Amino acid sequence: MDSSESKLRRRRQPKSADRPADAADAPKLEPAAAKVPITFDTADRIIALVLTVLALFTRLYQIGRHPVVTWDETYFGRFGAHYINGTLYSDLHPTLAKMLIGLGEYLSGHNGTFTYASGSVYPDYVNYVFQRSFVAVIGALIVPFAYRTCRFLGFGRPAATMAAAFVLFDNALCVMSRFILLDPILFCFTAMSLLGYSGFAGHQHQPFSAAWWRWLVFTGVSLGCVISSKWIGAFSVSLVGLCTVEELANMYRGGMSVRAQLKHWGARIICLICLPLLVYLLSFQLHFTLLNRRGTGDYKMPSQFQALQRNNIIAHQPHDVAVGSQITLRSHMPGVGLIHANATNRFPDNADELVAAGMPGKQANNWWQVALGMPTKGNDTPPIRFIADGDYIR
């Protein structure tokens, strides 16, 4: 035993020259990014297709069973109708998701006259099933997007399928996707942003290749869409921004040449800053192009904007205030609104004088007509007389 143990102790590993050729010539391990499964083969496509069909089933099954305006459908359904009749409205959210809802209503044949009052039954001329289904299909896309994102992050097929199944059977996502809401559209664009950046990160070992540029541009467009749908989409922009800062910092610490770093900086500035900003501005440009008629939200816009509306009173009178112009007066105090008066609200000691007060929103009693306080002498009054400093008007 002693002699055998000593032989074992003296035994050494063969040198590299003595090893088999296949072991000596084995390639070195590539970086982790290169091992990420970039290709999407037939098995992945089949899994994604099955997940998509299941997502559509869970979102569309008996979607028209409740024919009543439910929850925030009263807001976003009405906002979508504004894009059909072209009347301007005011809302705190950006415009893209609401324009997509309007597109779904337009494709359903809606004429824009239904007011979507909360709790009211949908009339026969409103195809609410199609409108809900349009939003539900958009919301269902997050399931295959989740699967593809997980594959880019290095998950195996079983793990990626399980992660997508969590999204597929999430009760909150299923419920919200079955109504005319902004959230399913927001979730879809958020999933697109994560998918785009994970695909871009999966091609880091191929910088400036066609696939690298394709995923970078896709990420920028997705970020523009998510921030143009709801302000909470800024969190997606922040996430991609922080990851980008970390990438660029690693390039600096890794000793990359200044010229190469500038190229990476320029590509990201164009695609991840300028491109989302362009999508955001174009969504508002389209918004104001479609809403070219006077509506409930024009009182918050300046007179120069109101003059461009088709059926606005300001569009048919001089740009500057003149005698006979119809105007609205706003209080200098914030939050008061427009000066309002009506025939029933008068001073108790003088029935000929009206009480004026600030009222939020624009109504018929917000309009005032400018008249000269003193009659003019003779017939030398020009056809259009603009109000000048020192004029007494009433």
Which of these ranges, 28-32, 92-96, 365-369, has the smallest mean pLDDT? 28-32
* pLDDT value of residue 244: 96
pLDDT band at 334 (very low <50, low <70, confident <90, very high): low
Structure confidence by residue, pLDDT tens digits, 107-126: 999 999 999 999 999 999 99
Q: Which of 70, 68, 48, 101 is nearest to 175 (CA)?
A: 70
For the packed helices 183-201 and 96-107, what is the interaxial angle rounded to 10 degrees?
120
DSSP-derived letter for residue 389 is: T
> How confident is the model over 6-20, as a mean pLDDT?
48
Alpha helices in the chain (DSSP H): 2-10, 21-24, 42-60, 73-85, 96-107, 128-140, 142-152, 157-168, 171-176, 183-201, 210-227, 234-253, 258-269, 275-290, 303-306
* pLDDT value of residue 21: 38
User: CA torsion 374→378→382→383, rounded to 10°?
Assistant: 90
* Contacting residues for 263 by C-beta, under 8 A, at least 6 apart: 208
* pLDDT value of residue 329: 78
* pLDDT value of residue 349: 66
The better pLDDT of the pair 76, 22 is held by 76
- Average pLDDT of the chain, as a whole number: 84
- pTM of this prediction? 0.79
CA distance linking residue 358 with residue 341, whole number of Å: 9
CA distance linking residue 223 with residue 280, whole number of Å: 9
- Distance, C-alpha 144 to centroid of its chain: 20
* Contacting residues for 372 by C-beta, under 8 A, at least 6 apart: 323, 385, 391, 392, 393, 394
CA distance linking residue 278 with residue 268, whole number of Å: 14
* pLDDT value of residue 311: 74
Strand partners, 347: 350
The rounded percent of the chain whose pLDDT value lies above 90 is 60
Q: Is the pLDDT of residue 20 over 60?
A: no
* Residue with tokens 């922040």, as numbered in its chain: 238
Q: Is the pLDDT of residue 32 over 50?
A: no
* pLDDT value of residue 95: 94
